[in-house]
Amino acid sequence: MSTLIEQPRYACALAAQQTVLAIPNSHPIVHAGPGCSSKAFGFAAFGAGFQGEGYAGGSHVSCTNSSEQEVVFGGENKLRDTITGALKILNGDLFVVLTGCTSDIVGDDSISVAKEFATEGYPVVGAETAGFKGNSYYGHEVVVNAIIEQFVGDIKPQVQEGLVNVFSVVPYQDPYWRGDLEGIKNLLEKIGLKVNILFGESSAGVSEWKDIPNAEFNLLLSPWVGLDTVKLLEEKYKTPFLHYPVFPVGAQETSRFLREVGKFVELDEKKVELVIGKEEKRFYDYFISISDFIAEYRNNLPVELYTVADSTYGIGVSSYLVNELGFIPKGIYAIDDPQNSIQETLNDILLSRGGEFKDTFKVEADGGLIEADIRKKIGESKKAIILGSSWEKFLAEETNNLYTYLSVPLHETVILNKSYVGYTGGLSLIEDLYSSLFKRKTTTSRTQLFTN
């Protein structure tokens, strides 16, 4: 992060402590100055729908709280003491040492310190996650790859037919990650696969991570985050991977996704189509019931779409709303700040879902610039809906348009296991989107009344 940005949409790499906490019974040990860990938690958990500390998160994260003495004389000994204390006090299956800017600038070899404990048989992994090295997405990949390299290790795979490892949304950075991963697992199990989902309440925890080499294939359900990981697994364990870049929201994309997975792993086509047929019937039975509402409130409904989210959710949701609900895309803003070499690919992915998206996609991490661009495009229109964070809520209210929450930071809602993935997620998005209509006190049926 070499420039100053307004209205940040991600934290620094140290926020990968939340990636560790998302693995059941796993704990981060932070080697950084006072306040770094709590700031990361404040953004990535408290600021993502108040998702809670858990057993060893938030104020309970083990931290060296490096001071001036560690800066001058080095902090490796203090890190050893902190790891020793954590192993004595905390009940955990995996401990991951994460570094902040202070320790990495000083030059502490935290990974070597972690290896000392691993050599003695303790489940300890080290990862360099200094904030100046990258953002939340970068830190997430660094931690995942470190666990694979140092904890899963060099073992001979015992391939299990139908077993898949899923790599998709970034825990907490995606505020709906728990429900999303649960939904993805349920979809894949319905077509006959056994799923290592790796994170969240639906994961068996460390045993799934140990099982990674035994998968028949890896699934990357993301435009770019996790691509280095599945390539690492292909090289390390010779495991093939399927890269499906569009997050499946709604009936069309979810059915397409399931067919692609079934084809890749050579599942029984009839079984896959039976599942799809059942799910689509259920989806459209519910979907058609919204027609009366649309007819009644047609003059009040938004038609212009602005999406502010990371490329995973932004592309998936936008495709669904345009292709199945008929919205007109005006601005699709990807806030995950991918490398320049990936940005053109992201635009191509979105265009593959419809020519309507031409000239609408923009990679932009600066919320101030996003706001300015939306203001310019939206003009005097009162027929728009903006999907995004708390920042977009303020913008929508100021311009007298509608909003629905989609990305962090989120400070005005509580999230437990909400999700927009799959067939059921698409229905949930319709509910939230059209329910937002009644946030306007001037909404009435058949007539359109707006006040400035």
Nearest to 20 by CA among 86, 113, 80: 86
Comparing 13-152 with 160-284, is the CATH topology the same? yes
User: Do 79 and 50 meet the contact criterion of CB atoms below 8 Å apart?
Assistant: no
Beta-ladder partners of 53: none
User: Strand order in 26-31's β-sheet?
Assistant: 62-63, 26-31, 94-99, 124-127
pLDDT value at position 271?
97
- What CATH architecture applies to the domain 297-425? 3-Layer(aba) Sandwich (3.40)
Dihedrals phi, psi of 289, to nearest 5 degrees: -70, -15
pLDDT value at position 182?
98
User: Do 143 and 19 meet the contact criterion of CB atoms below 8 Å apart?
Assistant: yes
Neighbours of 188 (CB within 10 A): 23
**Type of residue found at 250:** G
245/402 Cα distance (integer angstroms): 28
327/303 Cα distance (integer angstroms): 5
Residues of the chain under the 50 pLDDT cut: 1, 447-452
Cα–chain center distance at 290: 29
Going from N- to C-terminal start, the domains of the chain cover: 13-152, 160-284, 297-425
Nearest to 429 by CA among 315, 296, 317, 297: 317
Angle at 192 between CA 151 and CA 211, to 5 degrees: 10
Give the chain's count of helices (H) and strands (E).
18, 13
Nearest to 13 by CA among 56, 43, 47, 34: 43
Q: Which residues of 213-239 are buried (b: 16+ CB within 10 A; e: fewer)?
A: bbbbbbbbbbbbbbbebbebbeebbeb
pLDDT value at position 443?
57
Q: Which residues of 273-298 are buried (b: 16+ CB within 10 A; e: fewer)?
A: eebbeebbeebeeebeeeeeeeeebe
Contact residues for 255 (Cβ-Cβ < 8 A; gap 6+): 276, 279, 280
Four-way CATH pick for 160-284: 3.40.605.10, 3.10.20.30, 3.40.50.1980, 3.40.50.300: 3.40.50.1980
Count CA atoms within 13 Å of residue 29 on its CB side. 28
13-152 topology per CATH = Rossmann fold (3.40.50)
What is residue 213's three-state secondary structure?
helix
pLDDT value at position 331?
98
Neighbours of 348 (CB within 10 A): 11
Q: Which letter does DSSP use for residue 170 in this model?
A: P
164/359 Cα distance (integer angstroms): 36
pLDDT value at position 444?
55
